[in-house]
């Protein structure tokens, strides 16, 4: 009986682990389409996870007057004062939002997502969100309203907690650069194919990656098509899985 009971316990633990693995969510986010033929609007969101700043992208946004929502971590803020100063100097173009304090996934059970160790507990998820907000507050400017966790995957209970903390969660509908790992051509193709109402995700913290060149090319292609760019705070984005309602 003891051996049977131990086997059943092991099976239950395995099932629970498999259940937890299956419950991670990658929320989407869309803007209300304008229905304008040949144009419309999209929201560009750029993650600044760590490292430095891709000035190819930042310069293109300023020079071409393309608004963007930048999700910054506390780590990135400490290392990129010059870029933050440029963004703060253009409040009509840039809004800075919360990407967490240490860039750990907002998943409240221990596991790895794309090789990154999750927060692992409800308290750790809360600390990640609140430390990111505190870092932004310390950098000046308006308080953050949106949160996007590292890897953009969440446990459902973490989504509920983040909403209780007062943040909307920024999903997306177009993965522009595949975590900054795609080549310039594919990145440009994905971003340039965005449609009215799409929310694009890409990265602005990998200046040595070819994807950054593709981000610029794709954005300029959209602008040439007559697409309007908006920040998340300037549009009513609708997310699934309880992320915005």
Q: What is the pTM of this model?
A: 0.90
pLDDT for residue 16? 37
DSSP-derived pairing of the beta strands 199-203 and 41-48: parallel
- With a cut of 90, say whether residue 39 has pLDDT above it: no
Number of other CB atoms surrounding residue 90 within 10 Å: 13
- With a cut of 80, say whether residue 154 has pLDDT above it: yes
pLDDT for residue 37? 67
User: What single-letter DSSP state applies at residue 232?
Assistant: G
CB 22 within 8 A of CB 112: no
What does the pLDDT look like over 111-150, one tens digit per residue? 999 999 999 999 999 999 999 999 999 998 889 999 999 9
User: What single-letter DSSP state applies at residue 25?
Assistant: B
CB 203 within 8 A of CB 177: yes
Query: How sure is the predictor about 15, in pLDDT bands with cuts at 50, 70 and 90?
Result: very low
Query: How sure is the predictor about 236, in pLDDT bands with cuts at 50, 70 and 90?
Result: confident
pLDDT for residue 36? 65
pLDDT for residue 1? 41
Comparing 188 with 23, which gets the higher pLDDT?
Answer: 188
Averaged over 182-190, what is the pLDDT?
98
Distance CA 118, CA 112 (A): 6
Query: How sure is the predictor about 70, in pLDDT bands with cuts at 50, 70 and 90?
Result: very high
- With a cut of 70, say whether residue 188 has pLDDT above it: yes
| Beta bridge pairs of residue 237 | 31
Averaged over 196-221, what is the pLDDT?
98
Averaged over 37-66, what is the pLDDT?
94
Query: How sure is the predictor about 8, in pLDDT bands with cuts at 50, 70 and 90?
Result: very low
Query: How sure is the predictor about 4, in pLDDT bands with cuts at 50, 70 and 90?
Result: very low
Buried b (16+ CB within 10 A) or exposed e, 132-171: bbebbeebeeeebbbbbbbbbbbbeebbebbbeeebbbbb
HSE value, Cβ hemisphere, 13 Å, CA-based, for 143: 9
Mean pLDDT of the residues in the chain: 90
């Amino acid at each position: 009986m003891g051996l049977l009971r131990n086997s059943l316990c092991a099976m239950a633990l395995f099932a629970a682990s498999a259940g937890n693995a299956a419950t991670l969510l990658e929320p989407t986010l869309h803007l209300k389409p304008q229905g304008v033929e040949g144009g419309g609007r999209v929201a560009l969101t750029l993650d600044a996870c760590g490292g430095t700043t891709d000035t190819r992208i930042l310069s293109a946004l300023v020079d071409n007057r393309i608004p963007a929502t930048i999700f910054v971590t506390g780590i990135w803020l400490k290392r990129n004062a010059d870029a933050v100063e440029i963004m703060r100097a253009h409040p009509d173009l840039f809004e800075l939002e919360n990407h967490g304090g240490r860039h750990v996934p907002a998943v409240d059970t221990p596991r790895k997502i794309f090789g990154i160790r999750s927060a692992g507990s409800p308290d750790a998820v809360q600390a990640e969100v609140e430390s990111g907000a505190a870092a932004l507050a310390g950098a000046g400017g308006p308080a953050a309203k949106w949160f996007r966790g590292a890897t953009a995957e969440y446990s459902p209970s973490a989504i509920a907690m983040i909403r209780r903390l007062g943040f909307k969660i920024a999903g997306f509908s177009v993965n522009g650069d595949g975590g900054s790992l795609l080549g310039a051509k594919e990145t440009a193709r994905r971003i340039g194919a965005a449609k009215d109402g799409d929310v694009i995700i890409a990265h602005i913290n990998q200046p040595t990656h070819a994807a950054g060149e593709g981000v610029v090319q794709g954005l300029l292609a959209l602008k040439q098509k007559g697409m309007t760019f908006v920040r998340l705070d300037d549009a009513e984005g609708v997310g699934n899985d309880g992320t915005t309602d």
